[in-house]
């Protein structure tokens, strides 16, 4: 097909103007750019709007070529390309339109022909946008689109495709939002044609916006019906828009309609609703109301009033103007003068597209100098030697730019306001600044009503209608509405009364059912137990647990000495059953041995009368000084007396007064610190504040059963009484802990508790107490008995705490008889006081655990009294004990226990802080314990311990702490998620070539030297080395140690250090000709899961998409560069903004398995780089410079 085209400035008048312009004030000449477009000249229903596009393009190019300078209205239409030296070249457009029918194949052929004819830029035809864009992008020719139905096109991310019009998916959003906010519009009917792509996209987006967004804004606003049709449906039904579309709206009882179709369809729809006189509160139609004859076509202003539509431009829109066409009104006047009729939005956006391209060309060469005084457009756009450019600082660019690329960059950075609206492109080269206009017919004239800043009239919604006169109906003496209201009130009152009665009955029934369920769940009949051994009453009034088999499981039997069942005496020991006690058990302490106990030590071996010998730790002190500690200067006096006195003594508090019995039969106290005042207070309330009923005890047992923590002893149930037990006390059934109490294990000479097991016990106990005191409903009381007597050990030597039921009464303690005192300023909450009391017990108990000496198991009662001169200031620890802790467990652990035992309760840490500090002190404790063991390793057993400690140290180096602990205990560790870590991958550039040139031992030497330096850098920053495979090195941050606020900055600093270290290491020490090592690095951040896989040669591995992305960052990086993902760069911006600000964005890359990703090159901070690059210009922009770490990184890595 022969193209119908000619230069728009090729008329005699145009040529004369060009010659005059070139000779008057432009010594450098002019440049003619070729614009090509393929548009149909005749009207086509399948390709509407092509004529309007052509006329809009032509008006803009004619005005540019015939430029009026600073003439009419001060407009500037003579545009110039001005270089850095002030040389100006007038811009002309040779606009050529190629004729083609509405056929995709013919259109594609004409596009290729336009490119072959040398068109520099293409003005796109929206109807064939996808094929046209693919051809232009492959040919590297810019195609600039004007019209608004090409949303999916820009998702393809073509480099050479731009669009001025905004997205049509938002055309209906403002109108629909106004309907939803109105409140009276609730039922929406949507119809659209599938033949017209713009209509389909617009209404589909309207449906999605209504269902996903507006339904949340106004739940009553919903779509009641959706109809889609084709042209065949329209022709097959007589009067389709009346008999089908309007009929469906009436049937659905819609009060608002949105229609997406062409001009004729909109007119027929408006006429149908007007003819039916169906009241709609809002009617939105595309295209039709914009037609000049719409009002008369639908039957006059009364039928057309208040109909809504959308336009991307309107002559009466306010707040828009430019220096080329002026305001929208001035553009409309210029268009009408040229073509004899008013323009619509297609004409305007087509003209704006040409104007946008002209301004982009004008701004592209501002920092360039033309090498030749005159040149044509082809040389300017495609010849790299035609121009010389500098950057924003005036420095020459490293590579000669191509003029075409400068035009593309200028267009991408464009942000201008035109008579059409604002033009600003996003990263997909789509205009995101354009906002559609909502038009409403008012009094027969189209008015802009939204957005408000461009509106010419106020939006009228809903459409008003005449209010019919009200009719009043009466029933008796009341009006009908009042009568109905009275009936409704009476009926509802009766229904509410009936519902209240039913709910009360259901509540009582549910309470009975709940009580029965709790009873069946918790109460265990004695016949279900296969007794192995019964609990044994010790001479101090406490109990030793029994054992039994329940449902093929080993359980422990613990009499509830801390509570008293209603109907029993204060001392639950039953004298009527005393006949079962052997006589020699109560004779004397000189030689008698109670059954099942072994020999009992003499009175001086234990102190059971805490009333006379206990120092008191006051946790309620406001301030503590030396004079306040006089009450601690006490001595232990008195003896046990005779055995019968034991039957009348006050029951001990949860075994807190129990002196442990060793395997050798001796009785001794391993914990010199007595219970706090709060434990005594709690004990007195428990036994003197009244007995508990069975239901109250069951409630406490149920609460104990709900406590689920690995370090809390699980509770199975309760037995109200055992037939053969010398007591009426209920018996608690719990999970059996094989090693028994911690005190008995410590006194057992055959069981070794090394420092690792001791640390595990302390961590388990702190974790359990942190969990218990974190309970809000109810809040727990003091849960840790004195001397850790409630701490049990399982067969893996892991600690579990048996929570006393007195601690579970919480803030609603049914056993309290005194009213709670109101808090005064400066006082702590009772829950905090309870926790801090447990902190003191924890500190004293763990200090004894860490400093226990098995060689001195027999201590006199007088050793419990600690002189003031022997105590650490402000603390309940002895000086010798504190110094031993510093030497054998490290300063960190000693300081932690000193704070826990502080006399001023406000200075003690909470258990959450204790857990964290125990984790942090673990490595220090291992190191100090190993050093202490080395200093005393003179015997074979000590050498064995040293070897075990070395093995433990190696295990903790290979695995994270939790994984190492599980492996050490013979368990297979569970996978552990890490929500956010930073991963580092690196490999050696040219590693395969190096291996082919060097012997194996030289390759191994190179890797050893390089990775040793990497290991040092990782250790300094507290990072975890995951593994090395060949030349690949993998490292992780925020994994071994918590580094939530610094791990990205630490990893970036580590990467800079690795690159610098690699560049300093020779490839081969004996072959300097091979130069230095070069690596490439990739970093990413995200969640991973860590696990130990396999059974042989076990390794700790990381799994997750984050690992794959980090590996891809490394494999797509370049020599001596650190490449990171956008996610890592965003996190680095928060943690190290100085380094993030130097990140250099890269072109989008196709990442295997991820698609297109945007990455960045990271560089050390500029100050260090500038100094280094100045002294080493041959190394490039490089990572060989030492990294400039931010100050907080020095603090973050100080303790690793």
1-20 pLDDT, tens digit each: 334 444 444 444 444 444 44
The tens digit of pLDDT for each residue in 1027-1044 reads 898 899 999 999 988 999
Taking the C-alpha atoms of residue 21 and residue 92, their distance in angstroms, rounded to an integer, is 11
pLDDT interval class at 424 (50, 70, 90): very high
The tens digit of pLDDT for each residue in 1121-1141 reads 999 999 999 999 999 999 999
Does position 192 have pLDDT exceeding 50, yes or no?
yes
Lowest mean pLDDT among 493-502, 616-625, 920-929: 616-625
DSSP 1165: -
Does position 993 have pLDDT exceeding 80, yes or no?
yes
Positions of E strands within 928-1071: 976-988, 1024-1029, 1032-1037
The answer to whether residues 607 and 636 touch, using CB atoms and an 8 Å cutoff, is yes
Specify the pTM: 0.42
Q: Where are the alpha helices (DSSP H) in 283-327?
A: 294-298, 301-304
Lowest mean pLDDT among 304-308, 854-858, 1000-1004: 854-858
The position carrying tokens 């500038």 is 1170
Lowest mean pLDDT among 148-157, 189-198, 452-461, 1186-1195: 1186-1195
Kindly give, in sequence order, each residue whose CB lies less than 8 Å from that of residue 1167, ignoring residues fewer than 6 positions away: 1188
Taking the C-alpha atoms of residue 420 and residue 325, their distance in angstroms, rounded to an integer, is 10
The DSSP H or E segment spanning 355 is helix 345-364
So what's the pLDDT on residue 931?
A: 74
Other Cβ atoms closer than 10 A to 980: 17
So what's the pLDDT on residue 884?
A: 86
Other Cβ atoms closer than 10 A to 1086: 20
Phi, psi for 984 (deg, rounded to 5): -125, 130
So what's the pLDDT on residue 852?
A: 60
Lowest mean pLDDT among 37-41, 479-483, 496-500: 479-483
Lowest mean pLDDT among 369-373, 653-657, 1004-1008, 1181-1185: 653-657
Look at 329 and 147; give whichever has higher pLDDT. 329
The answer to whether residues 419 and 320 touch, using CB atoms and an 8 Å cutoff, is yes
So what's the pLDDT on residue 668?
A: 40
Q: For residue 48, what are its two tokens?
A: 């509407």
Pairing of strands 368-370, 387-389: antiparallel
* 556: nearest Cα among 702, 421, 719, 389: 719
Phi, psi for 372 (deg, rounded to 5): -105, 145
Lowest mean pLDDT among 136-140, 275-279, 952-956: 952-956
Kindly give, in sequence order, each residue whose CB lies less than 8 Å from that of residue 737, ignoring residues fewer than 6 positions away: 556, 713, 792, 793, 794, 800
**What proportion of the chain, given as a percentage, has pLDDT over 90?**
42
Please state the rounded mean pLDDT for residues 141-150.
82
Q: For residue 1009, what are its two tokens?
A: 């030297």
Look at 73 and 307; give whichever has higher pLDDT. 307
So what's the pLDDT on residue 1059?
A: 95
* 1125: nearest Cα among 1109, 1137, 1136: 1109
So what's the pLDDT on residue 1053?
A: 94
The tens digit of pLDDT for each residue in 968-988 reads 776 778 788 999 999 999 999
pLDDT interval class at 578 (50, 70, 90): very low
So what's the pLDDT on residue 147?
A: 80
Taking the C-alpha atoms of residue 417 and residue 434, their distance in angstroms, rounded to an integer, is 10
Kindly give, in sequence order, each residue whose CB lies less than 8 Å from that of residue 565, ignoring residues fewer than 6 positions away: 572, 691, 692, 694, 697, 728, 729, 730
């Amino acid at each position: 097909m022969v193209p119908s085209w000619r230069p728009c400035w090729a008329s005699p008048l145009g040529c004369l103007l060009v010659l005059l312009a070139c000779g008057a004030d432009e010594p450098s000449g002019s440049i003619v750019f070729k614009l090509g477009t393929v548009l149909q000249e005749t009207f086509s229903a399948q390709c509407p709007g092509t004529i309007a596009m052509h006329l809009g393009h032509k008006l803009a190019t004619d005005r540019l070529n015939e430029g009026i300078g600073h003439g009419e209205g001060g407009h500037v239409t003579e545009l110039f390309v001005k270089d850095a030296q002030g040389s100006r070249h007038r811009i002309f457009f040779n606009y050529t339109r190629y004729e083609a029918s509405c056929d995709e194949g013919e259109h594609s052929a004409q596009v290729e022909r336009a490119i072959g004819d040398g068109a520099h830029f293409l003005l796109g035809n929206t109807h064939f946008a996808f094929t046209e864009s693919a051809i232009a992008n492959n040919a590297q020719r810019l195609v600039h689109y004007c019209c608004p139905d090409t949303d999916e096109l820009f998702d393809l991310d073509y480099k050479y495709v731009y669009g001025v019009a905004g997205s049509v998916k938002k055309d209906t959003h403002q109108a629909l939002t106004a309907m939803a906010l109105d409140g009276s519009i609730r039922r929406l009917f949507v119809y659209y044609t599938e033949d017209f792509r713009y209509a389909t996209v617009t209404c589909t987006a309207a449906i999605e916006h209504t269902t996903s967004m507006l339904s949340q804004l106004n739940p009553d606003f919903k779509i009641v019906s959706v109809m889609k049709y084709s042209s065949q449906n329209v022709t097959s039904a007589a009067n389709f828009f009346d008999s089908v579309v309007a009929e469906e709206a009436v049937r659905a009882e819609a009060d608002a309609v949105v229609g997406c179709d062409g001009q004729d369809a909109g007119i027929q729809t408006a006429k149908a609703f007007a003819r039916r006189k169906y009241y709609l509160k809002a009617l939105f139609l595309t295209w039709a109301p914009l037609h000049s004859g719409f009002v008369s076509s639908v039957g006059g202003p009364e039928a057309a009033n208040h109909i809504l539509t959308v336009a991307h431009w309107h002559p009466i829109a306010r707040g828009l103007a430019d220096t080329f066409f002026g305001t929208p009104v001035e553009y409309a006047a210029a268009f009408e003068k040229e073509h004899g009729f008013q323009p619509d939005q297609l004409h305007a956006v087509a003209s704006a597209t040409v104007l946008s391209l002209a301004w982009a060309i004008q701004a592209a060469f501002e920092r360039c100098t033309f090498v030749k005084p005159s040149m044509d457009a082809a040389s300017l756009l495609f010849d790299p030697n035609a121009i010389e450019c500098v950057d924003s600082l005036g420095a020459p660019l490293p590579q000669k730019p191509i003029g075409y690329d400068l035009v593309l960059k200028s267009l991408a950075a464009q942000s201008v306001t035109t008579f059409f609206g604002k033009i600003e492109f996003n990263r997909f080269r789509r205009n995101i600044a354009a906002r559609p206009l909502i038009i409403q017919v008012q009094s027969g004239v189209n008015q802009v009503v939204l957005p408000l800043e461009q509106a010419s009239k106020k939006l009228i919604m809903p459409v008003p209608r005449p209010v019919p006169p009200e009719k009043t109906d009466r029933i008796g003496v009341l009006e009908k509405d009042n009568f109905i209201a009275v009936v409704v009130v009476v009926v509802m009152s009766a229904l509410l009364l009936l519902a209240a009665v039913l709910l009360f009955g259901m509540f009582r029934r549910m309470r009975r059912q709940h009580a029965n369920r709790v009873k069946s769940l918790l109460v265990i009949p004695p016949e279900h137990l296969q007794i192995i051994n019964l609990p044994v009453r010790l001479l101090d009034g406490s109990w030793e647990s029994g054992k039994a088999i329940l449902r093929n499981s080993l359980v422990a039997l613990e009499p509830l000495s801390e509570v008293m069942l209603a109907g029993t005496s204060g001392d639950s020991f039953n004298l009527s059953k005393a006949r079962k006690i052997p006589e020699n058990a109560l004779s004397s302490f000189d030689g008698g041995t109670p059954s099942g106990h072994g020999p009992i030590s003499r009175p001086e071996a234990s102190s059971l009368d805490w009333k006379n010998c206990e120092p008191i730790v006051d946790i309620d002190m406001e301030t503590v000084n030396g004079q306040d500690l006089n009450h601690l200067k006490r001595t232990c006096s008195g003896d046990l007396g005779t055995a019968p006195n034991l039957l009348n003594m006050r029951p001990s508090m949860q075994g807190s007064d129990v002196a442990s019995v060793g395997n050798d039969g001796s009785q001794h106290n391993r914990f010199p610190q007595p219970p706090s005042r709060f434990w005594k207070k709690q004990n007195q309330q428990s036994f003197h504040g009244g007995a508990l009923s069975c239901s109250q005890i069951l409630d406490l047992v149920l609460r104990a059963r709900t406590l689920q923590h690995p370090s809390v002893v699980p509770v199975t149930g309760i037995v109200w009484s055992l037939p053969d037990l010398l007591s009426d006390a209920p018996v608690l059934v719990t999970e059996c802990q094989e090693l028994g109490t911690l005190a008995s294990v410590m006194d057992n000479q055959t069981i070794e508790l090394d420092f690792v097991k001791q640390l595990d016990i302390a961590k388990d106990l702190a974790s359990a107490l942190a969990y218990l005191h974190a309970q809000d409903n109810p809040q727990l009381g003091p849960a840790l008995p004195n001397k850790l007597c409630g701490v049990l050990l399982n067969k893996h030597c892991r600690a579990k705490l048996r929570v006393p039921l007195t601690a579970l009464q919480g803030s609603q303690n049914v056993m309290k008889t005194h009213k709670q005192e109101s808090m005064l300023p400066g006082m702590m909450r009772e829950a905090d006081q309870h926790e801090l009391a447990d902190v003191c017990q924890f500190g004293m108990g763990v200090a004894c655990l860490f400093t226990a000496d098995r060689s001195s198991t027999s201590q006199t009662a007088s050793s419990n009294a600690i002189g003031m001169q022997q105590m650490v200031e402000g603390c309940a620890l002895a000086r010798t004990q504190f110094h031993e802790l510093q030497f054998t467990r490290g300063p960190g652990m000693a300081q932690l226990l000193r704070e826990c035992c502080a006399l001023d309760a406000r200075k003690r840490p909470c258990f959450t802080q204790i857990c964290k500090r125990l984790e942090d002190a673990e490595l220090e404790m291992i190191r100090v314990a190993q050093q202490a063991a080395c200093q005393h390793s003179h015997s074979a057993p000590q050498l064995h311990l040293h070897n075990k400690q070395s093995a433990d140290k190696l295990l903790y180096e290979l695995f994270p702490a939790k994984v190492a602990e599980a492996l050490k205990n013979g368990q297979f560790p569970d996978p552990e998620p890490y929500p956010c870590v930073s991963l580092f991958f690196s490999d050696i550039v040219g590693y395969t070539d190096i291996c082919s040139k060097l012997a194996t031992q030289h390759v191994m030497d190179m890797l050893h030297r390089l990775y040793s330096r990497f290991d040092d850098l990782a250790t300094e920053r507290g990072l975890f080395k995951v593994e090395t495979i060949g030349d690949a090195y993998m490292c992780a941050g925020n994994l071994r140690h918590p580094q939530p606020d610094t791990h990205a900055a630490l990893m970036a600093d580590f990467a800079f250090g690795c690159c610098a270290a690699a560049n300093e290491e020779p490839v081969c020490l004996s072959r300097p000709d091979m130069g230095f090592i070069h690596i490439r690095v990739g970093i990413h951040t995200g969640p991973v899961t860590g696990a130990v896989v396999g059974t042989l040669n076990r390794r700790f591995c990381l799994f997750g998409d984050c690992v794959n992305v980090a590996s891809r960052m490394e494999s797509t990086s370049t020599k001596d560069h650190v490449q990171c993902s956008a996610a890592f760069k965003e996190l680095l911006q928060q943690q190290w903004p100085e380094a993030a600000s130097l990140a250099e964005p890269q072109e989008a890359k196709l990442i295997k398995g991820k698609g297109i990703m945007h990455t960045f090159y990271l560089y050390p901070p500029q100050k260090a780089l500038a100094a280094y690059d100045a002294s080493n210009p041959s190394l490039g922009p490089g990572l060989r410079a030492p990294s400039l770490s931010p100050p907080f990184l020095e603090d973050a890595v100080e303790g690793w």
